[in-house]
Structure 1
């Protein structure tokens, strides 16, 4: 791994902390994105390592997430122009529903605006009805993901290459502008229908969602074994997206909630220490603002939690 921004987020034996946008409560469907930009700037100033942006192409009353997400490239462009130090990460671009050359163009554009602070996280999506809406067959998800990854990796790795879908007689040789100054790190978010060995060979790491500690330790052991087989001697990162409901009482014990914890800051520190010891290199916090304003949570985590992990 040669990217300085990737090294700032993922490093052997260390755990860094980021956060996911937008930050909302469970019932909020309309998001004030001016406030989200302000929260991103606050996280940047206070030393969070990464801002994560989701790709949610369509909404439905059948989906559990009611939030009206911006197009990820639009939001990433705004974040690139309004932050200075923090890594920007897509978590994750739905690679199977987008043409890989469009993804590459977006990634190079964001990396240029952000002065190479961008990490390109991609996934395959987990909502079969969306495949039908976009004219895709979900049964082809695994093969489509691999093919798109190959085209995307060629385009965002220096020297950049464009692999066309078709090459008719007399077709010109294409390239992407602006030319990337450095390779854009590629991160697998979820499995994309691939084996962990495939992910270990092709990705800088593996980002997954929160599980109970015994299950997560098993997941990590599987990942380490795959890295030893497929990329022996090389560092490959392991990261987790975790929901956080941070209470005002610093001694509130950690209690399980879907995909994360309700806890006070001391319980959060204990949870994160355990994750670091078990081999997790990065945690992005999906902060819920049901009980407290998001700004208060961000400031408390920065003051009392980040110093433990970002020395």
Structure 2
């Protein structure tokens, strides 16, 4: 059986029983804007960090295609995470998610240790499997084997990032040296499942600090959460395992505007947003990261969320 996930102070700051924290997904762009000025994005992240957002999320999008629904050009996640580590002080930095099946796990381990070191232990390693068969082919991988590859890479990565870090080589001759990672992280690097990676919830509950899912309507999300709680009860009954979601948000400049669904989220005013988030907290959600869109300026939306929404949920 796999070893239990690592506990780390930064994980407890983002995920805690009976609490809901709020994060921000980068880049923040207006609707129909596909080109990001990443110097502005780093400045916005620094601003959000100072205002009290608990986490800053960075995606891993290796390649773009005209067939892919997200046309945004994303920086390599390790480059952006390194910049964020040097320009923020309190917020967790979370990969949402490194494509575990398309990167060698030892390269991921080196990146994770490096970011954790620069961020003084504020890094949480979110991991996913990717969902585009053509991208697997571009990297010489068999998409049909992604489930087994995800499991194997997770175990190699977990061994490398454990407090008693050990390197599990793909191949080793009898006279091969023993390898190790330096520098070691300031804190253990928590590993978080983003999506299912083709695995069962029982597998995830045994190995991950939590399960980050994509937005669903409340009834479907409640069923998802019940599935997760049952898996945690079976596999880690004495441990806390987080449950979170990524939600698209178009924040209206009318505070009283009712919530209406958009793809993977809502358009809403702040009053209805607070009500929705309170209901999510009561239902057992521990973290929500906003993927902001709409026509308003990003800093204006971030300021409104910090002034009018975060105080309902963040106690410090």
Is structure 2 residue 298 aligned with structure 1 residue 294? Answer: yes
Question: 3-state SS of the aligned residue for 1:122?
Answer: strand
Correspondences of 1:1-311 after superposition (within 5 Å): 2-288=7-293, 290-311=294-315
Aligned residues: 310
TM superposition outliers: structure 1 runs of 4+ over 6 Å: none
Query: 2:162 & 2:275 partners in 1: Cα distance?
Result: 38
1:180 is displaced (CA, Å) by 2.2
CA RMSD of aligned residues (A): 0.8
Contact 1:157 1:182 in 2 (8 A): no
The 1-side partners of 2:7 and 2:149 are apart by 28
**Shift of the alpha carbon at 1:24?**
1.1
Secondary structure of the equivalent of 2:101?
A: helix
Q: Would you say the 8 A contact 1:91–1:121 is kept in 2?
A: yes
Q: Give the whole-Å Cα distance in 2 for the aligned partners of 1:221 and 1:125.
A: 25
Residue deviations 1:37-67, cap 9 Å, x none?
1110111000000000000000000011111
Q: Partners in 2 of 1:29 and 1:257 — Cα distance?
A: 18
Paired residues of 1:160 and 1:180 also in contact (CA < 8 A): no
TM-score, normalised on structure 2?
A: 0.97
Q: Give the match's secondary structure for 1:232.
A: coil
Shift of 1:267: 0.7
1-side partners of 2:270 and 2:30: how far apart? 19
Question: What is the distance in 1 between the residues matched to 2:237 and 2:133?
Answer: 35
Q: What SS is found at the alignment partner of 1:182?
A: coil
Partner of 2:3: none
Q: TM-score, normalised by structure 1?
A: 0.98
- Aligned-pair CA distance for 1:149: 0.2
For 1:266, what is the secondary structure of its paired residue? helix
Paired with 2:201 and 2:116, the residues of 1 have a C-alpha distance of 27
Between the aligned partners of 2:271 and 2:233, the Cα distance in structure 1 is 34
Kept after mapping to 1: 8 A contact 2:14/2:55: yes
**What are the Cα deviations for residues 126-174 of structure 1, in whole angstroms up to 9, with x where unaligned?**
1111000000001100000000000000111112111100111210000
